Amino acid sequence: MSFGGFCFSANVSAVAVILSLFSLPAAAGGLMLWEIGTPTLGTASAGWAATPEDAATAFTNPAGTVWREHTEVRAAGQALYGDIGFSNGGLTNVPGNDGGNPIQWFPGGGGYAAGRLSDKFGWGVALAGNFGLGLDYDEDWAGRRFAQEVDLIGLSLIPSLSWKVHPCLSVGAGLNIMGVYFKYLSAPRAGLIPEDAKLKYRDVEISYGGNLGIMYRPVPGTTLGLSYTSEVEVDFTDRLTLDNFGPFFQPLAERFNGAKTEIDITIPATATVSLQQKLTASTTLYSNLAWQGWTEYAGVTLAIDSPEQITIRVNRGYRDTGHFALGIRHAIASGYLKGWSMSTGFAYDSSMSTKAQVTADTPTWKAWRFGVGAGKEVCPGIHLDVGYTLVWSGDIDIDQIGREPFSPRLEGSYKNTALHFLGASVQFQF
């Protein structure tokens, strides 16, 4: 992303020149995924916060852990494959190829455990990640001035406790211990000649947030869940790498190469309301309504530890997003598939970006989700689930322009953008 309006004193104008050569290496790859390898793959996330029978409630709604007779552990594995190839629209002014497919196979999943301490108190532990993604473009692609490789990936360890305050109502709370990995690599223009320089930044940080949940079951066939995850503030600190700049800019590059640089981002808060409604003895309906606070994520602070003590605050102007999901699961009582439950669902997520805000490091747009899944108790106390979710965003237009004096431009479209999630999990009862 290019610098969008910042002010500092004239004695650092030289710094502005060198910084104008590249995009701000922050807030890249921002994405909150609903796919964590669990049975909600089959319902396109529907029922996310209202499935206390699943040990993954330790991740999705801590209030659900007390709603069980036994201790349950779920192990989940997932594979993501992306298809977001860029197509040049003709106005791009940096020569290069289309970047290839920056998202290919990426592993995921998690481990989840839930149990009771007593009739009124439950516990849970979850280890999973649903924030961020990685992009790895070809080195000589046309958008390399803005991004070549971007990784922003969060992994959460969440211990939690729940309390059944009434036979039909429970509350829960968890501590979100999040490890976040960030890597940014780009090829800014080297100087007056149109060659490629190098900018690199990488760090891993541990940050903390909180999860809260409510589970309400007024009658045996109806479960309502509300979950809230707080913002997580992440302060990355690493030394900036600047290399291969031309003679005119080399003195400035050497001046800031290795400078301690802090990048601060805010992972957004979320709120989800879910319903699980038994329609018949064999058919269950699931739904979600959710909100994600991307407005706070839009603001990024970059501070360079130098004699000038430069601090830059940029706001990408992202919007908060909404989500709706509806799914159904049916248990088959006879025939070849007897004992299996089949599920399907769809969901819609609005976009945090307008078309003017789409950038090469965060090519996100509104998304439709379509899921199918199946599950079966393969032997007493062991339940197998498999699922697939397609996330479809269609064509994502981009027209990103960097700062003067060189004003690099990336104009075109990411055609037929899609993510494919395939997962399986096993839940054990003890």
Query: Residue 170: CB partners within 8 Å, gap ≥ 6?
Result: 63, 64, 66, 67, 122, 162, 163, 164, 214, 215
CA distance 23 to 16: 12
Residue with tokens 């003679």: 247
Q: Which of 53, 59, 47 lies closest to 72 in space, CA to CA? A: 53
pTM of the predicted protein model = 0.91
Q: Which of 404, 398, 409 lies closest to 102 in space, CA to CA? A: 398
For residue 1, what pLDDT band results from cuts at 50, 70 and 90? very low
Query: Residue 177: CB partners within 8 Å, gap ≥ 6?
Result: 156, 157, 158, 206, 208
The pLDDT value recorded for residue 297 is 86
Q: How many CB atoms lie within 10 A of CB 161?
A: 18
**pLDDT tens across 158-194, in order?**
999 999 999 999 999 999 999 999 999 999 988 888 8
For residue 24, what pLDDT band results from cuts at 50, 70 and 90? low
Q: How many CB atoms lie within 10 A of CB 283?
A: 13
Phi-psi region of 178 (alpha: psi -120 to 50; beta: other; left: phi over 0): beta
The pLDDT value recorded for residue 16 is 55
Please tell me whether the peptide bond between 220 and the residue prior to it is cis, using omega within 30 degrees of 0: no
Class of domain 10-429: mainly beta
Highest average pLDDT, of 4-8, 14-18, 333-337, 372-376, comes from 372-376
The DSSP bridge partners found for residue 388 are 372, 422
Q: Which of 265, 216, 200, 192 lies closest to 52 in space, CA to CA? A: 216
> Per-domain residue ranges for the chain?
10-429
